[in-house]
Amino acid sequence: MTDNRTDGPLLRLAGLTVRFGAHAALDAVGLDVAEHETVCVLGPSGSGKSTLLRVIAGLQQADAGEVVLDGRNLRTVPTHRRGVGLMFQDHQLFPQRDVAGNVAFGLRMRGAARAEQERKVAELLDLVGLPGAQRRAVGSLSGGEQQRVALARALAPSPRLLMLDEPLGQLDRGLRERLVVELRRLFGELGTTVLAVTHDQGEAFALADRVVVMRDGRIAQTGTPLEVWQRPADEFVARFLGFDN
């Protein structure tokens, strides 16, 4: 496998399988994600969405199949060398550190110089709409502000692929709708490649260039939001989208 190939998808999954006992959480999943694309994985609870992100991040071992990022097979590459950023639902900020200390986390890990850290932190806080918040205590921030800090932290090491697992899950509906619009703008500006998981189809359709609908560890359908909405592949997808009402 060659390194740093520039043609082909940024991310390629082939035959990806994860078993827990007799149950396949992922069952031969294949998926390509192009550079700069935002793909949202949608599906009911237990369909394998989080497992998919965890395998790509190297937090979960695959029983079969391949994860190829930038032409590099990640099988033996540890999490911190994969060039992926992962942001979970419960964003787990470090409560004893201020905003800047949280955002700079990944930069410190890579040994970035102090001035470089400060410049990057200021730039990211501007981007996520929290200019000048460096010295604030994370405990004094609202839920939406904490989510923005978590996003800035995930973006700080400039990951090739940013993965979000139910990133807005704990916020109220109005705030979620506002943040989705901001995220879409932000990812467009940065040219970030994004793989996001949600069980909320409104969120997925607003954020995604392409959606992937999962069912029982398999991909039931992929397409643009409009394609999936207008032509659900089967009854499961149609029901999941709420067409049985």
- Residues lying near ligand ADP in the complex (CB under 6 A) are found at 20, 23, 25, 43, 45-51
What is the signed CA dihedral for 58, 116, 105, 97, rounded to 10 degrees?
-170
Judge contact between 200 and 171, C-beta under 8 A.
Answer: no
The size of the interface with Mg ion (CB under 5 A), counted in residues, is 2
Nearest one of 220, 228, 225, 226 to 43, comparing CA atoms: 220
| Nearer CB in complex with ligand ADP: 50/147 | 50
Instruction: Determine whether 235 is exposed, middle or buried from the number of CB atoms within 10 Å of its CB (0-12, 13-18, 19+).
Output: exposed
| Nearer CB in complex with ligand ADP: 84/128 | 84
Q: Which residue is nearest to Mg ion (CB)?
A: 50
CA 94 to CA 103: how far, in whole Å?
Answer: 10
40 binds, among Mg ion, ligand ADP, none (CB under 5 to 8 A by kind): none
Q: Report in angstroms how near the CB of residue 195 gets to ligand ADP at its nearest.
A: 13
| Nearer CB in complex with ligand ADP: 20/243 | 20
Q: Are strands 38-42 and 23-33 parallel, antiparallel or unpaired?
A: unpaired
What residues does 196 pair with on adjacent strands? Answer: 40, 164
| Nearer CB in complex with ligand ADP: 43/232 | 43
Q: Report in angstroms how near the CB of residue 43 gets to ligand ADP at its nearest.
A: 6
**Under DSSP, is residue 144 helix (H, G, I), strand (E, B) or coil?**
helix
| Nearer CB in complex with Mg ion: 30/44 | 44
| 51 contacts Mg ion (rule: CB under 5 A) | no
Q: Which residues contact 11 (CB under 8 A, 6 or more apart)?
A: 31, 32, 33, 56, 67, 68, 69, 161, 193, 195
Q: Which residue has the tokens 């079969």?
A: 64
Q: Report in angstroms how near the CB of residue 171 gets to Mg ion at its nearest.
A: 16
Q: Report in angstroms how near the CB of residue 49 gets to ligand ADP at its nearest.
A: 3
Which residue of 38, 50, 192, 222 would you call a contact of Mg ion, by CB under 5 A? Answer: 50
| Nearer CB in complex with ligand ADP: 46/129 | 46
Q: Report in angstroms how near the CB of residue 197 gets to ligand ADP at its nearest.
A: 7
What residues does 33 pair with on adjacent strands? Answer: 11
173-190 and 143-155 helices cross at what angle (nearest 10)? 20
230 binds, among Mg ion, ligand ADP, none (CB under 5 to 8 A by kind): none
101 binds, among ligand ADP, Mg ion, none (CB under 5 to 8 A by kind): none
Q: Report in angstroms how near the CB of residue 39 gets to ligand ADP at its nearest.
A: 15
What residues does 112 pair with on adjacent strands? Answer: none
| Chain positions contacting Mg ion, by CB under 5 A | 49-50
